[in-house]
A = this chain, B = another copy of it.
Amino acid sequence: MMDRSILDTLMEAAYQQALKGYNEGGLPIGSVLADRRGIVLAVGHNLRVQTGDPTAHAEVACIRSAGRRRDWPDLVLVSSLSPCVMCTGTALLYKIPEVVIGENENFLGAEDLFAARGVRVTNLQHAGCKELMARFVRERPDLWNEDIGVPPGAKPA
């Protein structure tokens, strides 16, 4: 388990990515990939609105930015929000052993899959992440439902 102060610092960086996304008119979700010393190796934020890429959730954008490497099992993935099943699958593919999330109140992703595969998930209950995401879901339920694959007309998440 990494030191809590390191995790808090990494989460603040993920939150800054989420804020960046919000200020660009996109989804306010941010992610950071770091090594176990807390050194940031890549950052990313959701780019659906900005680039029209439906696979560009924050975690995928972050891992994409990290490039080709083989040391994934030594890394920690930090996300402002509980990762969806796509992002969970991406972390599982590369055997990233530790995931740190800002919150799972606005959206509960596939944490059951992480648990089933022995990935440690730590929820930091980050107030800023919660408030920013709640604000966005209120303001843009259409974009939010699109981002999590809720078909139009279906009961919103």
The reply to whether A54 and B48 contact each other, CB–CB distance below 8 Å, is no
Which residues of A in the span 59-104 have a Cβ within 8 Å of any Cβ on B?
60, 63-64, 66-70, 72-73, 84-90, 92-95
Q: In the complex, which residues of chain B have a beta carbon less than 8 angstroms from the beta carbon of A55?
A: 55, 60, 63-64, 90
Q: Quick one: CB contact mask for A113-157 with B, threshold 8 Å, 1 for yes?
A: 100000000000000000000000000000000101101100000
A110 within 8 A of B: yes
Q: How many residues of A contact B (CB 8 A)?
A: 34
The reply to whether A52 and B67 contact each other, CB–CB distance below 8 Å, is yes
A53 within 8 A of B: yes
Given A68-B52, A89-B110, A73 contacting B148 (CB threshold 8 A): no
Q: Measured between C-beta atoms, what is the minimum distance from A66 to chain B in Å?
A: 7
User: Closest residue to A153 on the B side, CB-wise?
Assistant: B70
Q: A146 contacts which of B64, B68, B84, B151 (Cβ < 8 Å)?
A: B68
Q: What are 11 inter-chain pairs, A to B, with CB distance below 8 A?
A: A52-B67, A52-B68, A53-B64, A54-B66, A55-B64, A70-B152, A72-B151, A73-B151, A84-B93, A86-B89, A94-B149
